[in-house]
């Protein structure tokens, strides 16, 4: 058993590995003759590109995110992190099937999304399973496919003001979250990237709230992220006990990354971290979403986190 820990300067990243990627040549260049690596992405508006697996076109060497045309229907004008990670900070030819859907929550029976048509995490995974089962031959392999999840933002945004037991609510969310991870594992997933919740208490929508409200949401985020981290650890531990040595996980600390940029905006090309009126240099595009330039930073950092892999 090999435990691989990846630490990048100034980034609180942990990469845990129970085996090495078989057959990957890090010096290989992307070309149409190279067998692609696959990326299956799940999440919300922070990740969405508007991909539709039923209409096509599907990802291909000349169009690695498929439909719609690059950079896709992102939440803010321009590229987002999955665009960048797929096409610019990737380490080989990567074809990304991005099932993320704006407004998604972990599960509609725990925190309902803002509209019935929103595809929650289970809905997104069901889409993948249906497509995969419909193929006469599976196009991806367990060793060349990465499965990423960045979700929880809407769960917290929609519930933080509610008069509920937020500890119990978060526990339910994380339990359901890792039930979905197990479903992916049973499908054949062995490589997982987990991304936590950023400091939503610093979004323009919260900055106008009393300090006590911001502090309440900050506490909910801290607990969610702690439970997510523990969930990843427990998932690895279960697979280790089951002698599933091929499982690998990576964690990107979005909370740390957002905090670092918001605390030192000038170092990253920003001059305003509170406004969202479209003035050049602002970090926020609107009440909840960072601008494309910020998303590009996170995509590059995730590429650094995945150094030494096909993705």
Q: What's the mean pLDDT in 16-45? A: 59
Structural domains of the chain, count: 1
Task: Give the angle 231-4-20 at the CA atoms, nearest 5°.
Answer: 105
- How buried is residue 267: exposed, middle or buried, by Cβ count under 10 Å (0-12/13-18/19+)? exposed
pLDDT for residue 65? 98
Residue 4 within any structural domain of the chain: no
CATH number at residue 52: 3.40.50.1110
Residue 119 within any structural domain of the chain: yes
Q: What's the mean pLDDT in 112-135? A: 97
pLDDT for residue 246? 86
Yes or no: say if 284 and 203 are a contact pair by the CB < 8 Å rule: yes
Range of the domain at 298: 14-22+32-305
- Residue 150, pLDDT above cutoff 80: yes
The band of 244, judged by pLDDT with boundaries at 50, 70 and 90, is confident
Residue 9 within any structural domain of the chain: no
Residue 27 within any structural domain of the chain: no
Note the pLDDT tens digit of each residue in 49-105: 999 999 999 999 999 999 999 999 999 999 999 999 999 999 999 999 999 999 999
Yes or no: say if 106 and 176 are a contact pair by the CB < 8 Å rule: yes
Q: Is the pTM of this model over 0.85?
A: yes
Residue 2 within any structural domain of the chain: no
Q: What's the mean pLDDT in 274-285? A: 97
The band of 26, judged by pLDDT with boundaries at 50, 70 and 90, is very low
Residue 94 within any structural domain of the chain: yes
pLDDT for residue 200? 98
- Residue 28, pLDDT above cutoff 80: no
Residue 8 within any structural domain of the chain: no
Return the closest-CA partner of residue 87 out of 75, 101, 77, 98: 98
Cis? peptide before 71, omega within 30° of 0 = yes
Q: Which residues pair with 8 in a beta bridge?
A: 11
Q: Which residues contact 235 (CB under 8 A, 6 or more apart)?
A: 178, 181, 192, 249
- Residue 13, pLDDT above cutoff 70: no
- Residue 242, pLDDT above cutoff 50: yes
Tell me the percentage of the chain whose pLDDT exceeds 90. 87
Residue 7 within any structural domain of the chain: no
- Residue of higher predicted confidence among 111 and 31: 111
- Residue 111, pLDDT above cutoff 70: yes
């Amino acid at each position: 058993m090999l435990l691989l820990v990846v630490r990048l300067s100034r980034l609180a990243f942990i990469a845990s590995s129970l085996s090495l990627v078989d057959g990957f040549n890090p010096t290989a260049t992307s070309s149409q003759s190279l067998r692609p690596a696959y990326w299956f992405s799940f999440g919300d508006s922070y990740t969405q590109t508007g991909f539709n697996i039923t209409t096509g076109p599907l990802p291909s060497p000349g169009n690695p995110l498929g439909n719609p045309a690059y950079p896709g229907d992102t939440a803010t004008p321009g590229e987002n992190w999955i665009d960048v990670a797929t096409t610019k900070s990737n380490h080989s030819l990567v074809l990304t099937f991005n099932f993320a859907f704006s407004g998604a929550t972990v599960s509609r029976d725990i925190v309902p999304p803002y509209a019935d048509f929103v595809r929650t995490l289970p809905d997104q995974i069901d889409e993948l399973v249906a497509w995969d089962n419909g193929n006469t031959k599976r196009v991806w392999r367990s060793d060349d496919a990465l499965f990423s999840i960045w979700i929880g933002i809407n769960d917290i945004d929609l519930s933080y003001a509610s008069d509920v037991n937020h500890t119990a609510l978060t526990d339910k969310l994380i339990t359901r979250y890792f039930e979905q991870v197990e479903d992916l594992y049973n499908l054949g997933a062995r490589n997982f990237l987990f991304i936590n919740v950023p400091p939503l208490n610093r979004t323009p929508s919260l900055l106008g709230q009393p300090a006590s409200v911001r502090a309440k949401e900050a506490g909910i985020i801290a607990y969610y992220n702690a439970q997510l981290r523990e969930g990843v650890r427990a998932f690895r531990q279960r697979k280790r006990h089951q002698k599933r040595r091929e499982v690998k996980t990576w964690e990107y600390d979005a909370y740390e990354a957002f905090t670092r940029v918001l605390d030192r905006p000038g170092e990253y090309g920003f001059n305003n971290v509170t406004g969202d009126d479209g003035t050049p240099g602002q970090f926020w595009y609107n009440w909840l979403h960072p601008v494309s330039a910020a998303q590009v930073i996170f995509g590059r950092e995730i590429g650094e986190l995945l150094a030494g892999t096909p993705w």
